Amino acid sequence: MAQSDTVDRILDAAEELFAERGFSETSLRMITSKAKVNLAAVNYHFGSKNALIHAVFARFLTPFSATLEKAFDELEESCGDQPPTLNQTLWALTESAVRMPQRNEKGISIFMRLLGLAYTQSQGHLRKFLEQEYGDPFSRFMRLLKAATPQLSAVDRYWRIQFMLGATAFTMSSSDALRDILQNKTGVETSVQEIAMRLVPFLAAGMQAEDTMLVPPRGSKVSVA
Amino acid sequence: MAQSDTVDRILDAAEELFAERGFSETSLRMITSKAKVNLAAVNYHFGSKNALIHAVFARFLTPFSATLEKAFDELEESCGDQPPTLNQTLWALTESAVRMPQRNEKGISIFMRLLGLAYTQSQGHLRKFLEQEYGDPFSRFMRLLKAATPQLSAVDRYWRIQFMLGATAFTMSSSDALRDILQNKTGVETSVQEIAMRLVPFLAAGMQAEDTMLVPPRGSKVSVA
DNA sequence: GTCTGTTTTAAACATACGTTTGAAGCCAAT
DNA sequence: ATTGGCTTCAAACGTATGTTTAAAACAGAC
């Protein structure tokens, strides 16, 4: 090999270990020993551990955000002048994620877990990096959601979007463990695609829930402030 | 002070710091300096950092699980021989959480965030501890959910419960930050109680979503494996 | 006051971490 | 063959971590 593939080996090992154990729980020494490269290689090629984390995300997110923008383009065009529905918007996102070319069979689930960790773990530098680099497609997704749920008040929509993000990030962030539990219990295998197909209708139904259910059942001691 | 309140001061500081920064990102020195106690006090009173983490959870979870069991008792009794509805079950849980006596105004949101971290962060010892100590009320909640959603297949129910947990843990875990954002944007104040009142109908609607929505819209390339 | 068991303290310990260093290795161009 | 620019390597650096130690401080009982 004329030019070594050290960089890719580091990225592969880091991606997998970060997804398994989180960022601060994964040391550079674990990464370099899994990648079978010298410890100093990380700082030589990436500069720092934080920069390596950014690179792991960029390797997936850059092509993904391009795919997503294209999917939104097609969706909006096919809808003419009326806005895409909630279901269409959610599916456009889901399909873009599921159809991304993957390095291996664990591809999506690894990356979903990383995204979940990014949101959950309070890594300030990561959130800032993701916002700066990939804030645009996210804003566009939010705009589509707004147009698809005109019946919701701004406050309701705001909270329900948080609920959706939560269900998604949380489930994906622990999806490997959850899948294993389910398989042990019922023997059923579940792919990330199938999880996504179960998640979307759950989210869509939640987003469109009737407000009337907001009233607690009789005997409740909770009251609106 | 005859006998110092060192133990409680450590627990208070640890609880807040863990919630803010996660477990491995919080050092014993941060905790002891915030609590204004000697570094060795943690190992003296608790034995180890992991044992301190367990103690933080036990201080809240023990009274909470008692309250919850009582709420479930009352609910099942008031329902006679037919099982409680999904809404009733969710509200019983929500009210038990909201009505717990709190040490301060941040009480619930801190603890929700800790619960989220416990699930998300791959701390094996913690998951094992929580399962052993508080598995019973959790199983009971699951049983109630099962009785309240007989129309769902076991697999569907399993995943939808995960989605519910995710939306709840995630939202509650960052509810302080989210509340602030919303207030800055719209000037609207939101209490934890109000968030809960918006969350429950979202979850109930998601749980009861029609399976027919599982079919992707026309033109979709996603297929069930 | 003296003793006794508990709690607090400052200091040290061993280990692990991210990062840096300077020499060695390598490969293509001169 | 020699140069020059990347890349790899073993070793070390400085710092931070959880934990342990042994002495000091304290409180209540006699």
CB contact under 8 A, A193 and B95: no
pLDDT digits (tens, 9 = 90+) for A65-82: 999 999 999 999 998 888
* Structure tokens that stand for A113 in this block: 């877990």
> What's residue A141's pLDDT?
93
CA distance B42 to B13: 11
Taking the CA of residue B48 and the C1' sugar atom of nucleotide D18, their distance in angstroms comes to 8
Q: How far is CA B156 from the centre of its chain?
A: 22
- Asked whether the predicted pLDDT for residue B223 surpasses 70, the reply is no
Amino acid letter for position A114: L
SS3 B121: coil
- Asked whether the predicted pLDDT for residue B47 surpasses 90, the reply is yes
Confidence band (pLDDT; 50, 70, 90) for A189? Answer: low
Confidence band (pLDDT; 50, 70, 90) for B225? Answer: very low
- Asked whether the predicted pLDDT for residue A216 surpasses 60, the reply is no
Amino acid letter for position A219: G
Which is more confident, B189 or A214? B189
Which is more confident, B225 or A8? A8
Within 7 Å: CB of A25 and strand C?
A: no
Taking the CA of residue B2 and the C1' sugar atom of nucleotide D29, their distance in angstroms comes to 15
pLDDT digits (tens, 9 = 90+) for B10-43: 999 999 999 888 899 999 999 999 999 999 999 9
Amino acid letter for position A29: R
Closest nucleotide relative to residue A5's CA, C1' based: D7
> What's residue B190's pLDDT?
63
For residues B167-197, b (16+ Cβ closer than 10 Å) or e, as one string?
bbbbbbbbbbebbeebeeeeeeebebbbbbb
> What's residue B194's pLDDT?
79
- Asked whether the predicted pLDDT for residue A182 surpasses 80, the reply is no
Which residues in 50-109 of chain A line strand C, with CB less than 7 A from it?
50
Protein residues in reach of strand D (CB < 7 A): A 3-4, 6, 37-41, 44-45; B 2, 26-30, 39-40, 42-43, 48-50
- Asked whether the predicted pLDDT for residue A144 surpasses 90, the reply is yes
CA distance B65 to A112: 32
Which is more confident, B68 or A121? B68
Within 7 Å: CB of A29 and strand C?
A: yes
SS3 B36: coil
pLDDT digits (tens, 9 = 90+) for B190-204: 667 778 888 999 999
pLDDT digits (tens, 9 = 90+) for B125-157: 888 898 899 999 999 999 999 999 999 988 889
Q: What average pLDDT does this structure show over A167-175?
A: 76
DSSP for A55-109, please give it: HHHHHHHHHHHHHHHHHHHHHHHHTTTSPPPHHHHHHHHHHHHHTS--SSTTHHH
DSSP letter at B85 equals P
> What's residue A187's pLDDT?
62
